[in-house]
A and B are shown apart, each in its own frame.
Chain A
């Protein structure tokens, strides 16, 4: 059996300190196989974003066992307005991960940036612009390229299409599916939107109140939801679609 990308067992996490300390993750057990896309679905406040931050080491108040076997996992954030440095050009933003990784040769960095930009559907003309002069969809492409350029194969996607309109959502989801195929990526896909998870993910975990109440193959969960909360979420998403 291949080694999982990450495996978490009985993970508990808290937010705040002292009397304000609130538990946001309760006994979370979850793992991700290479090449797999795992959706984590829940309402805001369900602990899904905290789970993602735990995996990336951005949260410190954690108990339990957690192993991440992919070097330097990256994250694509929900709001592409906040996740790109507004003072820098797209070219600089994409070069910076390479500088941080110790790629000294400027020409080599430039070449990698151009390759990566082409891969996510950005042209050379975008590289000299600042994020403010890009559309939401273009910004999210930049964020994806920046996450991939160091060669990371495990990407946490935190509501990456929620800030975009429906046509752009479909485009970005297609791009993500395509990149996963071509580069053999593994995704942890955080979302409140079951329909979006259904399009991209192989497996899904449903979270509420910091707990995973149900997990399994997307089709199983969609066709035979077991937990009441999952049924409610499904009904809500169908009502929106219908």
Chain B
């Protein structure tokens, strides 16, 4: 069989970035928010791998922490979107009918707005902060998953194995969640990789605009808006933040592409 380089490189890069982000959850070389006047705009050195920012905070530690924050937010957003989307899309796709039509038009309506704009409205109502951001983006991610899963259920429900299960008297809910659901995993998996990247970007742009996380709980996007302020003095701060974001998205994007070519799924 042809070697799937997308899968290999994407998998390796994703794993590497995942480890990087996970490390940031538990350990950083310095306290990421410790201010030190002596170290303002410090150049990279063995003590501060990537130097320090305008307040003398260790940039490497901050990027680690920001990456961890971004990863957790993106995963939480993805979890809300995927689980709700799965349930809604699965039930709508299998049962169809009037409820399906109504729910799907509602999803169309939500999807018709730019999601960041809509999240902005939600954030304006609830206020900033990590959990509000997760909630706002999570809800906005539901329609795309619901649509994806529904399409797959529509295709699967007319297959003979589903008819056969019905004839055997298997309950409809069991058919949806036990019989059909595992067969939608290839499609869902490639949807998850796309969704993950969208979640990372949405989180970063919202936090960059200052309507995402709070300063006490910074993420990559929030730090990027800080770094922008002294781009000429410490260009490596913004560069390193951007690189982290790009590698994270690139890895997962390639992984998704690899999964798609492996399973022959078009999403």
Q: Residues on A close to B: CB < 8 A? A: 56, 58, 72-75, 77, 79, 82-88, 96-97, 100-101, 143, 146-147, 150
Contact with A along B163-194 (1 / 0, CB 8 A): 11111111100100001001101000000000
Contacts of A143 in B (CB 8 A): 164
CB pair A96 B168 closer than 8 Å:
yes
Contacts of B183 in A (CB 8 A): 85-87
Contacts of B168 in A (CB 8 A): 72, 74, 96-97, 100-101, 146, 150
Interface size on B, residues (CB 8 A): 17
Q: Knowing that A74-B168, A86-B161 touch, tell me 20 more A-B residue pairs with CB under 8 angstroms.
A: A58-B163, A72-B167, A72-B169, A73-B167, A75-B164, A77-B163, A77-B164, A79-B160, A82-B160, A83-B160, A83-B163, A83-B164, A85-B165, A85-B179, A85-B183, A87-B183, A88-B179, A88-B182, A96-B170, A143-B164
- Complex Cα gap A87–B164 (Å): 15
The 8 Å CB contact of A56, one of B167, B179, B185, is: B167
- Complex Cα gap A75–B163 (Å): 9
Q: Does B159 contact A (CB under 8 A)?
A: yes
Q: Which applies to chain A's interface (DSSP): helix, strand, loop or mixed?
A: loop
The 8 Å CB contact of B161, one of A56, A73, A82, is: A82
Closest-by-CB residue of B relative to A72 is B169
Given A77-B160, A85-B183, A86-B183, do A101 and B169 touch, yes or no (CB 8 Å)?
yes
CB pair A74 B167 closer than 8 Å:
yes
| Max count, chain A CB within 10 A of own CB: residue among B161, B163, B171 | B161
- Complex Cα gap A82–B160 (Å): 5
Closest-by-CB residue of B relative to A53 is B163
Closest-by-CB residue of A relative to B183 is A87
Contacts of A87 in B (CB 8 A): 182-183, 185
- Closest Cβ of chain B to A96, distance in Å, is 7
- Closest Cβ of chain A to B176, distance in Å, is 13
Contacts of A86 in B (CB 8 A): 161, 183
- Complex Cα gap A58–B163 (Å): 8
Closest-by-CB residue of A relative to B166 is A58
CB pair A82 B159 closer than 8 Å:
yes
